[in-house]
């Protein structure tokens, strides 16, 4: 899948299982997930669990946790990701996935996943969020002029003119005496 990302997008594919270092979980999984612009989830059968009411076919617990972290990134940290979720037929919908509308694509063979990814990945052209470094560059390139018309102490007119090539949003103005 990582090679397919390299082939079909401008991004670099990453697969934590390919790591042969003694780096921590933080470096090889969590940091890479945080820095990602997309997430491809492929849930294979990983065993069955017997409960008093039914038998469940489960996917990897690790993958379930990565989906939960990606959900936190998007919903709380406002770092949306491109997402493609593939679920092998028969896997139970459990945990946080019960609350998400990820529209998983069911598959029976790996060839089905590859074919669907070949169709999906070319649309992943740009990140869905602006990263910290890019945001800092944008802020530094902003060219605004501000003019304050003095009036009565409780009445001021503040004019802000944007000379930049990008839109600017003024969220607050603070005045000090």
Instruction: Judge whether 114 and 4 are in contact, CB under 8 Å.
Output: yes
pLDDT one-digit tens code per residue, 5-24: 999 999 999 887 766 666 67
Question: What is the DSSP secondary-structure string of 116-175?
Answer: HHHHHGGG--S-SS--HHHHHHHHHH--EEEEEE--STT--EEEEEE-SSS---------
| pTM of the predicted structure, to 2 decimals | 0.68
Q: Give which of 60, 1, 88, 70 is closest to 29, Cα–Cα.
A: 70
pLDDT of residue 18: 63
Mean pLDDT of the chain: 84
pLDDT of residue 4: 93
Mean pLDDT of 110-126: 94
Mean pLDDT of 125-147: 83
pLDDT one-digit tens code per residue, 54-69: 888 777 777 888 888 8
């Amino acid at each position: 899948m990582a090679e397919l990302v390299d082939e079909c997008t401008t991004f670099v594919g990453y697969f934590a299982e390919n790591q042969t270092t003694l780096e921590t979980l933080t470096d090889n999984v969590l940091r890479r997930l945080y820095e990602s612009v997309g997430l491809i989830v492929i849930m294979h059968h990983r065993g069955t669990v017997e409960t008093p009411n039914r038998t469940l076919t489960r996917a990897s617990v690790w993958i379930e946790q990565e989906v939960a972290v990606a959900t936190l990134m998007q919903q709380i940290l406002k770092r949306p990701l491109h997402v493609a979720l593939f679920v092998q037929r028969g896997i139970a919908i459990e945990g946080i996935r019960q609350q998400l509308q990820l529209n998983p694509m069911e598959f029976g063979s790996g060839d089905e996943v590859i074919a669907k990814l070949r169709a999906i990945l070319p649309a992943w052209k740009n990140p869905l969020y602006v990263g910290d470094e890019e945001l800092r560059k944008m802020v530094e390139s902003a060219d605004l002029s501000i003019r304050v018309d003095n009036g009565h102490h409780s009445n001021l007119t503040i004019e802000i003119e944007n000379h930049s090539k990008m839109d600017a949003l003024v969220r607050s103005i603070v005045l000090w005496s």
